[in-house]
Each structure stands twice: as C-alpha cells, then as structure tokens.
Amino acid sequence: MASPRPDTVAELVRSRATSTPHLSAYGCRQGGAWPKTDWAACWAEMQRLASALRGLDVARGDPIAILGKSGRAWHLAEHAVLLAGGVAAGIDPHVPRTQLQAMLAVVSPKLVLYDEDAFGPTDLTLAAAPLIGFRDLLALAGVTGASQAADRPGEPIAIDLPVEISGDDPATVIFTSGATGEPKAIRYTHRQLLAACDAIGDAFPMSEGESTLCWLPMAHLFQRMMNLVAVRHGATIHFVEDPRTLVECAQEAEPSIIAGVPRFFEKLREGIERQIDALPAWRRTIVRAALRQGDRFQQTLAGGGATPWSQWFVHRLCDRLVLSHLRATLGRRVQMLITGSAPIAMNDLRFFDSIGWRVLEAYGVSENAVPIAANRPGQRRAGSVGKPFAANELRIADDGEVLVRGPGVFHGYFNGVRQAGCFTDDGFYRTGDVGRLDDQGFLYLEGRKSEFIKTSTGRKVAPAPLEAVYGASRYLNHCVVVGNGRKHLAALCTLNTAQVLAWRAERGESSTATEEQLAQSPAVRCLIESQFDELGQGLAPHERIHRVAILPRQLSLEAGEITSTLKLRRLEIERRCRSWIDACYVDDERPALSARQS
C-alpha cells in the first residue's frame, strides 16, 4: 500500500529521509572535492536544530527570520524552523540596512538567525528579537561541520513532527524584489509550496542519482523550490557558497541541472568566447567553424525540416571533436539549463543552442508560488517563456495583461490585506506583465505594463525586450532604455570594464584606465555607439536608440538601483541619473544613432 502523500514540507523531508537514508542529501565543497552527507545524517542534523529551536520557545506559527548567503547552514536552518512548527522568513543579506530593518519590523520575528560572515550584531540592533548566528545555532544543536557530518552516520534524536501543523498553515514569508517600490512581504502555506514543488518537478524532472547546484539567493523562493524538488525526487544538492566560483564548482560537482539568471548566461558566454579567442589561430578557426555548423544544425531542427544525412554526420563529428569540450565548461552531465527573472538575449540563446545546450526560459511572479509558464525539455520555443503550467489558469486581458489564478497564488500581503487592484472580480491576479499566446500555446512577454514608454510622438514601447537586444553587447553590463514623454529613445549604459580594457589592449592602448576614464573616452564612445548601430539593425525605427549615455560607475544594489535578483529599479535609476538623461536630449550636431541605422 502506497504511503500517504505528504501534506507539509516537514513530512516530505521526513519521508525522504526514512525511505532512502543512505542516499546523498547534499554536498559541500572542500578544496576540489565534494564530500556528501547522506539523508540519515542530514535528518539527524535537522532534528537536532529543530530541538534547539524548540528549546528557545519556537512554537507553531512563529516567524523566524533567516539572513545569510545561500548554503548548507541556510538550508538546514530553514527545514529546522519548519520541523519545529515555525515560519521561515528569508531576507536577502545584500539589501540596504535601512530596508533590512523595515523588513524585520514587518515580520516581527521570534528569532533572527543570521550569517556571521555577512552581518555583525550592530547591523541588527533594531531587530527587536534575539539574535543567533548560524555557527552558534549549529553548536547549540551539536551539529558538526559539513565534512564531519559526511564521515559519520546520522544520530537521530527523539523529536516528533509538529502533527498539529496542517497543509494550510504558513510555511514561509518572502519579500518581493521591489523593482517598482518598497518590498512587500508574502506568506505561503505548506500546501502551496508542495503544489509548486510538484509543478516544477513535472517541468524539470530530477531523479535519484542526479544533482543540482544551489547558488541563487535562498531568501527568494525559486532556489528553495529547486532544492525542494531535489528532496522530493532524491537528487543531491551541491551548495555553492561563493557565486564567483560557480563554473569551477560545476566542473567539479558535475550537476544535472543548473538554474540561473540571464546575467549568469551572459557571463558564461563571455567566458567561453574569451577561451576561444585565446586559442592559436588554427584551433580558433576550427572552433568557430564547429559553432557555425552547430548553429545551422539547430536552426534546421527548430524549423521542423528533415536533417540531411550529410549535415547530421558533420554535426556529430563537430560535436565529438569540439562542441562536447565546450559543454564541459559546466561539467559533462548537464541535462538542463534554466533561466528566469528577466528576458534573456536571443543571441545568447542561439549561441548556447549552437554548443548543444538548450537553455529553458521560465516565468513566474513573487505573488504565485507556482511558476506561471516554462519551456520544457522537448517542448521549447526560443523567445517565449514556454507554455503555462497546468496548475494555473491563465488569461490575457483586453489590454494584454497576463492574469493568473491557481493554488499557488497568494491571498494578500503579510498583513492579510489584498491590495486594491491586485485581483480581478473573479479572482485572477493581475501580474502587471503584458504578453500574448501564440497558436501553439506558448507565452511571449512584451514587458511590464507600468514600464511601457510613451514617447512624445505617441509611440508606446516596452523597454525590457530592447534592453535584451542591446544588452547582448559584450562591452556592456547594463543597458537601461529611457524616453518617456521624449521625442525618441535613449539608453543609459554601464561598461563591462574587463571587456573594454581587453579591446583597448588589442588596439595597443593602456589597459589600466579607470571606469570613469573609460566612460569619457571618445574611442570607447565610438565603440559603444557602433555596437548600438549593429544591434539595432533589426528593430523598427521607433524602437531604435538615438542617444547613449555611458555612466562612469556601475548600477548598484546599495544605491537601490537594482534588486538582489538583478532586476532594474527604473524609477530610482532615472532619479539618480537625471542629468545624464537630460544630456541625451540636448540638441547638438552629432547625427542620431537611428540616422546611421536607417
């Protein structure tokens, strides 16, 4: 007789631990090795931590704030909180300190668990709750370091699951990224998290013996949901505690699935391109030819036409000799690459297609635990965000807004109030995103409803797709399209300093210039404008950028210009960069970029 389906996250974790105690639960990097901790040891760690939390009077429904970088300690703390009956409230450690205090005030946590490597007690003086560092909590619970845990069997202690907790009890609190305003707290139940787990697992299947990397911010929901999918299906979680080592970690751990954001894939492509450029001329020629062949092969497949035998044979040869070695950049077992959070450039998708990686773009909103749509293995259309998940009801409003209703949709922000205008009369959540469905049911997003730019000529333009087009330049870090109420579009740009310096070095110029000096360089301006000329060729005239302002600094999280998930905070950017924007609309004798593009 089959065991009953888990109704809470704690029950799901217990089911995994008791059914496969010797299966690997997670791995932590030590040097170049990844010692594994099995489920018997992991379950013992979670129980000990839960017992320690109960000893600190954590009871059913108590919110517990967790602040820290992604890693083993975050993962164990989260599940210990749920096992003790509490509610895990994740807060990103990179948010500005003033915003952090406001978040803590909203949640009013019973305890604050924090990463000592990211915070000091003085950072949290206004928390109005006891502070416990991750290391202190592990020590209090008698939980050893990752390497020791991997080398000894688990020693469970007697602790009952909070049987009084039901699937409709709150499990977690997350904060929206706050791209257009102050972050808001959202509470999700155990049942909603399990519904999301089921939906994601169906779209991106994992199985026992496979593995995934955990490196995205765990304060946000998607990474934790990917971890939960791994738990449900018996896959191993490899914790990458320093995102700068992600590629190196992937080569060592050889995961099956890697989830990232478009910026990661931009950087990954740049890294591969640099490796190719550094090859001797004869090898570089061979690699570029193999990439062209890979691109032609993938375009034939995407077009649905029959692949000639000769093309198939040449592609197999190129794949064996060249393309498979490029894919080894992320290890030799990658089956799925997933991206979300923002649009990814079509040029990047096509580049990875040519290598043999099918990057799957997905789409969700913070207000729905279940992702809204996703491309899937064998069911993908580049440029779309895939087909809607079966758990959701999706509808396109008359003005193009994407509406969604389903079991994962939130019931209101943390105080229980359904913000005015969030829902239609029949209960569909207004996502604020504008999109369309094609005849095959694939969803295409056209931008945020609130961010559409209306020029003084009456044209309405969505900035995000244009930013994906122009942001494909290897010489840019960010491209922000502006022009509301103006006669044409302009762009604020930040430089990819390493790439620009490499370009200068190729020209025999100094490679030690500062970011401010690069922004003021006429040669660099010509380079960037030529990039806009080239990339804007396929756009309609009213979508092309007429003027470019190169900022002498990067956009920053601390300044409130980007979110921790790397989304643009447009209002703050425009406020801080007003002088650069105004300069783009001062009449001068320089021809507009669009004139050169025509």
pLDDT digits (tens, 9 = 90+) for 355-408: 999 999 999 999 999 999 999 998 999 889 999 999 999 999 999 999 999 999
In this structure, of 121-125, 200-204, 308-312, 324-328, the range with the lowest mean pLDDT score is: 121-125
Q: Report the percent of the chain where pLDDT is more than 90.
A: 59
Per-residue pLDDT at 126: 60
Residue 180, pLDDT > 60, answer no
- Considering the segment(s) 9-189 as one domain, its CATH architecture is 3-Layer(aba) Sandwich (3.40)
Token pair of 161 as six digits: 């699951």
Q: 448 has which bridge partners?
A: 433
Per-residue pLDDT at 104: 87
Domain boundaries for CATH 3.30.300.30 within the chain:
452-597
**Tell me: the pLDDT tens digits for 43-70?**
999 999 999 999 899 999 999 999 988 9
The contacts of residue 71 (CB under 8 Å, 6+ apart) are: 28, 214, 239, 241
What are the residue ranges of helices labelled H in 97-233? Answer: 97-107, 134-141, 146-151, 190-203, 221-233
Q: Report the percent of the chain where pLDDT is more than 70.
A: 90
**Tell me: the pLDDT tens digits for 62-120?**
999 999 889 999 999 999 999 999 999 998 888 877 778 888 888 899 999 998 887 76
pLDDT bucket at 151, cuts 50 / 70 / 90: very low
**Tell me: the pLDDT tens digits for 310-353?**
888 999 999 999 999 999 999 999 999 999 888 888 889 999 99
Residue 595, pLDDT > 70, answer no
Per-residue pLDDT at 148: 46
Residue 153, pLDDT > 70, answer no
Q: 0.85 cut: is pTM over it?
A: no
Domain boundaries for CATH 3.40.50.980 within the chain:
9-189
Q: Where are the beta strands (DSSP E) in 368-454?
A: 373-374, 387-388, 393-396, 401-405, 429-437, 443-448, 453-454
What gap in Å lies between CA 480 and CA 487, rounded to an integer? 17
Residue 583: which of 532, 519, 523 has the closest Cα?
Answer: 519
What gap in Å lies between CA 370 and CA 58, rounded to an integer? 28
In sequence order, what DSSP letters do the residues of 442-505 get, joined into one string? -EEEEEEGGG-EE-TTS-EE-HHHHHHHHTT-TTEEEEEEE-TTSSSEEEEEEE-HHHHHHHHH
Residue 149, pLDDT > 50, answer no
Residue 469: which of 347, 372, 565 has the closest Cα?
Answer: 347
pLDDT bucket at 146, cuts 50 / 70 / 90: low
**Tell me: the pLDDT tens digits for 405-452?**
999 999 878 765 556 678 999 999 999 999 999 999 999 998 888 888
- Pick left, alpha or beta for residue 266 (phi over 0 → left; psi -120 to 50 → alpha; otherwise beta): alpha
CB 79 within 8 A of CB 228: no
Owner of token pair 């190729």: 506
**Tell me: the pLDDT tens digits for 237-263?**
999 989 999 999 999 999 999 999 888
- Considering the segment(s) 452-597 as one domain, its CATH architecture is 2-Layer Sandwich (3.30)
**Which has more confidence, 486 or 253?**
253
Average pLDDT, the chain: 88
